[in-house]
Amino acid sequence: MASHEIETLTQALSRLPGLGPRSARRAVLHLLKKRETAFDPLLAALASVRERLATCGICGNVDTSDPCAICADPRRDARALCVVEEVSDLWALDRARLFPGRFHVLGGRLSALEGIRPEDLAIDSLIRRIAAGGIDEVVLAMNATLEGQTTAHFIAERIEGYPVRVTQLAHGLPVGGELDYLDEGTLAQALRARRPVA
Amino acid sequence: MASHEIETLTQALSRLPGLGPRSARRAVLHLLKKRETAFDPLLAALASVRERLATCGICGNVDTSDPCAICADPRRDARALCVVEEVSDLWALDRARLFPGRFHVLGGRLSALEGIRPEDLAIDSLIRRIAAGGIDEVVLAMNATLEGQTTAHFIAERIEGYPVRVTQLAHGLPVGGELDYLDEGTLAQALRARRPVA
Ligand SMILES: [Zn+2]
Ligand SMILES: [Zn+2]
């Protein structure tokens, strides 16, 4: 039916997260119909990003410049450093403009199961940033998973001795979370971390 | 946060049907992470299709060649012609290899509301194909909407006098359709078109 090229395009799109074969086909049809308003802008945007794509040599963020826009922004608070597992975590935290400081992307989490060791993560470069000085607080923003927390503890130990405050994200009930829909682990954590009513 | 170029790419993706801002962002992150296995193949596929993209001068299909792969395929039954509203309908019918003949894309449907008149659709070129001979059957595969059926009737009248059999898709219960979930119009149509049990 569709030509080899169109089939290849449909397959490339269908491998994106959130798109299946069906929606990829609809997307391709949309592109073919709206050549000037959809196809050309998408193609130009992809080519433009691809051309400039770079991994930030300071923090590990992916951006179209190195250093990335965050590391290059003088309005950012250079004294606060937020450590995350993945670039997607950095984006999630930065999207809501929740954190005014800078970031450090580990590129994963320690995992015995997957054979991911400390030297596979950007931990040495994190220590070098801290050792260089000028940082007051390191926020360990790992996922609330066993591996994420193992990673956070490992890093906290490596940081001991440097004159920085080490904090981590609070764990507990998600906003809007109803008790009887939450898993036991979250409930236990919320109970352990209970605070006096103000 | 993300650079201007990445923001532009996210927006271009989020305008595809089936993708919202959130999934577009996930798709972009996926592309940035998997540069060799996702980004480059998608960019190459888009560029390759865009370069060759053509509207078939015979049937109105969109393909990477003109005539399109269907019109150029000698194994297709040239005596059967299926008329559809949109390229997406052609693809839907052809995907399942349901129709062994060729197609004709009208490019829409008659609509008083939207001001779409016969001369706005590829009806004259349809009549020319039929008048040229060699076609035994014309299948009117319009949507089962008021406008689709109005268009089908209009075309059926224009074809009168040519030595072709004019048929249209059956209307009735969709396969797997449960009576009490179907709208009245479908039920009425299924009842009107009822057939003796074989
Ligand atoms: Zn950076
Ligand atoms: Zn064609």
Q: Is the ipTM of this complex over 0.90?
A: no
Let me know: does A136 contact A165? Beta carbons within 8 Å.
yes
Main-chain dihedrals φ then ψ at residue B21, nearest 5 degrees: -55, -40
CB-CB under 8 Å, A9 with B49: yes
pLDDT at A196: 65
Widest CA span of chain B, in angstroms?
67
Question: Would you state the pLDDT for residue B198?
Answer: 56
**Does the pLDDT value for residue A1 go beyond 60?**
no
What string of pLDDT tens digits covers the 198 residues of chain B?
Answer: 568 899 999 999 999 998 988 899 999 999 998 999 999 999 999 999 999 999 999 999 999 999 999 999 999 999 999 999 999 888 888 876 778 899 999 999 999 999 999 999 999 999 999 999 999 999 998 888 889 989 999 999 999 999 999 988 877 878 777 767 777 777 777 777 776 655
Domain-located, residue B39: no
Distance of alpha carbon A21 from the chain centroid: 27
Residue A49 has pLDDT above 70, yes or no: yes
- With residue B151 as reference, give the H or E element that holds it: helix B146-159
In a domain, A66, yes or no: no
pLDDT of residue B110: 96
Give the Cα separation of A194 and A192 in Å (integer): 6
Do the chains contact at A64 and B5, CB–CB below 8 Å? yes
E strand map for chain B: 54-55, 62-63, 77-84, 101-105, 137-140, 165-168
Give residue B109 CA to ligand 2 midpoint distance, Å: 19
Query: Residue A64 domain-assigned?
Result: no
The total domain count for chain B is: 1
Cβ neighbours of A19 in B, within 8 Å: 18-19, 23, 27
| Distance, CA of B141 to CA of B136 (rounded, Å) | 16
Residue B185: predicted pLDDT: 77
Of the partner residues A17, A41, A52, the one whose CB lies closest to the CB of residue B26: A17
pLDDT at B103: 95
Please, which residues have CB within 8 angstroms of residue A129's CB and are 6 or more apart in sequence? A58, A81, A104, A135
CA-closest candidate to residue A140, choices A151, A125, A128: A151
- Whichever domain contains B124, its CATH number is 3.40.1360.10
Residues of B in Cβ contact (< 8 Å) with A29: 87-88, 91
Of the pLDDT bands very low, low, confident and very high (cuts 50, 70, 90), residue A184 is: confident
Chain B's closest residue to A5, CA to CA, is: B49
d(CA A140, CA A80): 11
Give the highest mean pLDDT range of A90-94, A98-102, A117-121, B136-140.
A117-121
Which residues of chain B does A4 touch, with a Cβ-Cβ cutoff of 8 Å? 64
**A28 membership: H or E segment, kind and range:** helix A21-33
Nearest CB neighbour to A64, from listed B6, B26, B62: B6
Q: Establish if A173 belongs to a structural domain.
A: yes
Which has more pLDDT, A97 or B127? Answer: B127
Q: Which residue has the tokens 């894309």?
A: B105
| Position B27 in a domain | no
Question: What span, in angstroms and rounded, lies between the C-alpha atoms of A9 and B41?
Answer: 8
* Cross-chain Cβ contact B2/A63 below 8 Å: yes
Residues of chain A with C-beta less than 8 angstroms from the C-beta of B26? 17-18, 88
Question: What is residue A189's predicted lDDT score, i.e. its pLDDT?
Answer: 75
Domain range for A166: 76-198
Q: How far is CA B168 from CA A64, A180, B139, in A?
A: 54, 55, 5
Cα A71–Cα A73–Cα A78 angle in degrees, nearest 5: 65
Q: Which ligand is nearest to the CA of B61?
A: 2
Q: Which residue of B has its CA nearest to A20?
A: B18
CB A83 within 8 A of CB A75: no
Residue B86 lies in a domain: yes
Between strands A165-168 and B101-105, the pairing is unpaired
3-state secondary structure A168-194: ECCCCCCCCCCHHHCCHHHHHHHHHCC
B118 assigned to some structural domain: yes
Is A161 within the bounds of a domain?
yes
User: Which amino acid, one-letter code, is at B148?
Assistant: G
From the CA of B144, how far away is ligand 1's center (Å)? Answer: 55
Predicted structure pTM score:
0.73
